[in-house]
Chain A
Amino acid sequence: MLFYCEAINHKGLVVLDVHKLSDLKQWWFNREFEVSWNNEDTRSLIEINNFNWIKYRGPREGDWYDIPNGFWNECSFDFEKFSYDKEDRSVLFRLSVEFNGNEKVDFLSFKTEPLWWQHE
């Protein structure tokens, strides 16, 4: 599935967005999360903590990546941090993720062509 790198900090924190909310919904179902998808929630930013990548092969702000399921199999998911049910919730973030993999990731191998909105 396609993800856009919104921000990184070179200390293991990455912020991703998605192309369409429907993509994120499908990904959510495919992951079989115990927390059900909320159609009212239009937020889509995902933060990944503790992410470890091969030097010079990490994510770059502004680039797009086709991240395989195997990557997410090495992650745990915090549904509470940015819960839609919070009284004062995050404006943009939907999900917090912790990367638990032992091996550094060649994230650059996931890089794909950029997507731009078409306009008149």
Chain B
Amino acid sequence: MNNFLSSLNRLKNIRLIIRDVGHGNFNEIQMGNATRIIYDIGADKYYKDSQLRSLTQGLNFTNNEEVLIVISHWDVDHYHGLLGFSDNQLKKIKGIIAPEKIPATNTSQKIISLINNHKIPLTLLSFGSKLGKCRGAELTKYWENNNIEIYRSTYTRSRNLDSIVVIFKVNNKAILLCGDHNYNKLYNCVVTNIPQHDYIFVLPHHGGDGGKLDVNDWGQLSLVEVIISFNESNFYGHPQQAILSNIQNLLGQHLYKETNGNGDVIINI
């Protein structure tokens, strides 16, 4: 994994794709035709075979492409998309990074078996060490180079907070990918390390409960894009109206983007 990530240095032009996967998360960082990092490889848990097939067939891996996958946390709508991959697609995966504690369910076991059967290197990250930046679980930096920072949560019993957060820094922009994490912890532990960049933010938890979004804190950043990956048919009531209002206030004239059956959101950087 380290060699793969280390090779991704001095990135200049990338494409961010937030796939429209119903109420789930599937985000790609495409670096030309050679390399792709997928942060969360999920889909709506109510997806049917045809929907999953359509998603994975539409990924269009190139012949020489190498793929790295990061699973933010072990919530099924963040990882089960892998069940739709063909053997050829699975062969292109150079590694998968995920949190260490995997709930011992039949569904997660299907994923682990798929990974093992195709001999895909699986790197499981243990909890980070607390630095005292906030109460309760924190996010501490696990790995970095010029373009990528990987954060790992410290000990927590919360499935959503037991996760991996990634920031991609390209051309003075920072793409923040954070699964279902918490606004306060993201701000205090991650974002304050990189305050000068223009932020492209895929909202945590499909715009649902991610704790308080403090507009005084987040208003100090340059927030240039916000994307919400969700489908309005979800039974959680995501996204929350209060979150949407705060986000729109922070963005000003610029509107947030959403998947919600509108297709993939694609941003060239």
Seen from chain A, the residues whose Cβ lies within 8 Å of a Cβ on chain B are 4, 6-7, 9, 11, 13, 15, 17-21, 24, 42, 44-45, 61-62, 88-93, 114-117, 119
Q: Report whether A15 and B105 are in contact in the complex, using a CB–CB cutoff of 8 Å.
A: no
Expressed in whole angstroms, the Cα–Cα distance for A1 and B107 within the complex equals 17
A/B interface sample: 28 pairs, CB < 8 A: A4-B104, A4-B105, A6-B75, A6-B76, A11-B235, A17-B76, A17-B105, A18-B106, A21-B106, A42-B110, A45-B76, A45-B107, A62-B158, A62-B159, A88-B48, A89-B49, A91-B47, A91-B52, A91-B80, A91-B84, A92-B45, A92-B107, A93-B45, A93-B46, A115-B103, A117-B108, A117-B112, A119-B112
Residues of B within 8 A of A (CB): 43, 45-52, 75-76, 80, 83-84, 101-110, 112, 124, 157-159, 235-237
Residues of chain B within 8 A (CB-CB) of A19 are 104-106
* Nearest-CB residue, chain A, relative to B77: A7
A44 to chain B, nearest CB (A): 4
Contact A13 B235 (CB under 8 A): yes
Question: Are A117 and B102 within 8 A (Cβ)?
Answer: yes
Q: Give A80 to B110 CA distance when docked, in angstroms.
A: 24
Residues of chain B within 8 A (CB-CB) of A7 are 45, 76
- Judging by beta carbons under 8 Å apart, are B102 and A116 in contact? yes
